[in-house]
Amino acid sequence: MDEFIYQISLLLSFILSFFFFIIIFLIIFEITFRVNKNETEKHLKFYGLFMGLNNYDIFLFSLKTISYILLLWSILSNTILPIHFILFILLQLSFDLCSFRYIKLFPNLINNLFICFLLYSKQIFYDYLLDVTFLYSVVILIILLSLFIFFYASYFYLKDIQFLLTSNKYVKKVLPTNSKFVEFFKKKFKKNI
C-alpha cells in the first residue's frame, strides 16, 4: 500500500503541469480570439464543434485530452515511471470502452503499447546519457524519437477527436462528407489553374 501511495505521489508534478498547461492553453485561445475579431466566422465554427456535445461526449473528450497531455508530459519530462504507463493505458482503454468501439479495442491497445515502448526506449537513451557518457548522436536520437512520438500520438489523438465529433448529430450536419470535400477542392484547384 505504501508503494502505491508513493507512486501516486509521483504524479504530483503531472497534475501541476496539467493545470499549468490548461491555463496557458486558455490564455492563448483568449488572446487569439480577441486579436482576430474580424474572423468571427472561423471562431464560431470552432466553438460550434464543441457546442452540441452532451455531458457524455465531454467526458470522453476529457479522457482523451488527459491521456494526451500525460503523453506530452512524459515526452517533455525525463522521469517516466510504471504508474505513468498504467495510467496512460487505462485512460486510452476507458475511452475506447466508453465510446463503444469494441472492434478497435485490440488495435488501439497494441498502438498504445507501442507508444509506451517508444517512451521507455527514450527513457533508456536518456539514462544512458546520464550514467554512461554524453554523446551528441544519442541527444539527436532522443530528439528525433521525441518528435516521432509526438507526431505519432497526435495523429491518433486527432483521429479519436474526429470520431467523437463526427458521432455527434449536430456536427454531422456541419462537417462536409468526403465526397463534398473532394468536390470542393476540385473546384478550388480548377479556378486557380
Q: Indicate if the pLDDT at residue 167 is higher than 90.
A: no
Q: pLDDT tens across 56-98, in order?
A: 888 888 888 888 888 888 888 877 777 788 888 888 888 888 8
Q: pLDDT at position 192, please?
A: 47
Q: Which residues, at least 6 apart from 176, have a Cβ–Cβ distance to it below 8 Å?
A: 184
H/E stretch holding 99 reads none
153 CB burial (10 A radius; 0-12, 13-18, 19+) = buried
Tell me the residue ranges of DSSP E strands in the chain: none
Whether 165 and 64 have beta carbons less than 8 Å apart is answered as: no
Mean pLDDT value across residues 25-42: 67
Percent of the residues in the chain that have a pLDDT greater than 70, as a whole number: 73
Whether 81 and 73 have beta carbons less than 8 Å apart is answered as: no
Place of cell 448529430: 169
Q: Indicate if the pLDDT at residue 176 is higher than 70.
A: no
106-122 as b/e, with b when 16 or more CB fall inside 10 Å? eebeeebeebbebbeeb
Model confidence at 37, pLDDT cuts 50, 70, 90, reads low
Model confidence at 26, pLDDT cuts 50, 70, 90, reads confident
Place of cell 546519457: 129
Q: Indicate if the pLDDT at residue 177 is higher than 60.
A: no
Q: pLDDT at position 19, please?
A: 79
Q: pLDDT at position 1, please?
A: 66
Pairwise CA distance, residues 83 & 73, whole Å: 13
Q: pLDDT at position 145, please?
A: 93
pTM over 0.75: no
More confident call, 138 vs 26: 138
Model confidence at 142, pLDDT cuts 50, 70, 90, reads very high
Q: Indicate if the pLDDT at residue 193 is higher than 50.
A: no
Q: What is the DSSP string of 16-30?
A: HHHHHHHHHHHHHHH
Of 31-35, 66-70, 102-106, 146-150, the poorest mean pLDDT is in 31-35
Q: Which residues, at least 6 apart from 73, have a Cβ–Cβ distance to it below 8 Å?
A: 14, 17, 18, 21
63 CB burial (10 A radius; 0-12, 13-18, 19+) = buried
